[in-house]
A = this chain, B = another copy of it.
Amino acid sequence: MEFPSQLVKNAVDQLSTLPGVGKRSALRLALHLLKKDKEKVEKFGQSFIDLINNINYCKECFTISDYDLCQVCTNPNRDKGIICVVEDIRTMMAIENTLQYKGVYHVLGGLISPLDGIAPDDLKIEELISKIDKGNISEVIFALSTTMEGDTTNFYLFKRLKEKSIKISSIARGIAIGDELEYTDEVTLGTAISSRLPYSDSIKTH
């Protein structure tokens, strides 16, 4: 694609660095921006510059927060002895939306992924361990995606934490509520059968 303008080419090149955005949709987005008011587009561009320059992370759990400590870590009603380990704020927000969890979080900032060049050192794993070593932690819950990267990270964390005198748990894997068994994939169904619970325990999740 040959662009009639270097400015358009720059904007298209930048937009197509976003995941899932190809050159063609990037051009559509750039032309969409060009139809807007100057002030609106300036605000659009400035929001990313502000984001990267002023972003701040909670000193306790490493989630994104405008303050030194996030809303969860400063909440006196949250149980500081239970830590839920998550990949990023998206999982944290999703768990918060369930209103089912009253502990605190620890945001790793990613998952171990040799293919993407992400090693344990790139994540907030030492910070988690030193938090546990300080004491007063009773349980660590792994709430990572059930993907190859999530499982690798789970396994690495378990190896590092198993000697500590804390309870280590992982979110339950099984059939999603509302799913029909005949359409469930084999791996999930197999996991759900081998991790079966006494009936009285299983209905707790409802």
Chain B residues lying within 8 Å of A48, measured Cβ to Cβ, are 11, 14, 33, 41-42, 44-45
Does A194 sit at the interface, judged by CB under 8 A? no
Contact of A90 among B2, B31, B40, B70 (CB under 8 A): B31
Encode contact with B along A1-34: 1 for CB under 8 Å, 0 otherwise.
Answer: 1111111101101100111100001011111111
Asked if A98 lies at the interface with its beta carbon under 8 angstroms from chain B, I say: no
B11 in contact with A64 (CB, 8 Å): no
- CB proximity of A68 to chain B, nearest CB, Å: 12
Given known A-B contacts A19-B32, A45-B48, A66 and B5 have beta carbons under 8 A apart: yes
Q: Which positions 48-80 of chain A face chain B at CB distance < 8 Å?
A: 48-56, 63-66, 70-71
Known: A1-B93, A28-B90, A89-B31. A7 touches B66 (CB 8 A): yes
A88 on the interface (CB 8 Å rule)? Answer: yes
Q: How many copies does the complex hold?
A: 2
- A7-B38 contact in complex given A18-B29, A44-B17, C-beta closer than 8 Å: no
Question: Do the beta carbons of A8 and B52 come within 8 Å of each other?
Answer: no
For A64, what are the chain B residues with a Cβ–Cβ distance below 8 Å?
4-5, 7-8, 34
Residue of A1, A48, A90, A97 contacting most chain B CB atoms (<10 Å): A48
Identify the closest chain B residue to A32 (Cβ): B19
What are 9 inter-chain pairs, A to B, with CB distance below 8 A? A1-B93, A7-B51, A7-B54, A8-B55, A8-B64, A34-B52, A34-B64, A38-B52, A41-B51
